[in-house]
Amino acid sequence: MDDYLQTRNYLLKLTESAGLTVESTLRALRDRLSPDDWSTVEERVTASNFNDETTILELLAALQSSDAPPEDD
């Protein structure tokens, strides 16, 4: 869960500094970030099922669910 929180906070910080909201797309975020910042985002977000039209909120929700501990049966 710590990885998720660090990534979440990092993404939210970048989103805010870019003047965007969580409803913005990854394309909008990429277009406003420096190449170094976008590279860092790509390193932290390794799932390949995200595209330019994915919203930042959708990305955060997917990251949170993938970082959740497994449920007991």
> Contact at 8 Å (CB) between 55 and 24?
yes
Confidence (pLDDT) at 65: 81
Residue 72 has pLDDT above 60, yes or no: no
- For 30-44, write each residue's pLDDT tens digit: 999 999 999 988 887
Alpha carbon distance 56, 50 (integer Å): 10
Beta bridge partners of 25: 55
Residue 17 main-chain phi, psi, to 5 deg: -65, -25
Helix (H) or strand (E) holding 52: none
- For 17-69, write each residue's pLDDT tens digit: 999 999 999 999 999 999 999 998 888 776 557 888 999 999 998 888 876 55
**Is the model's pTM score more than 0.75?**
yes
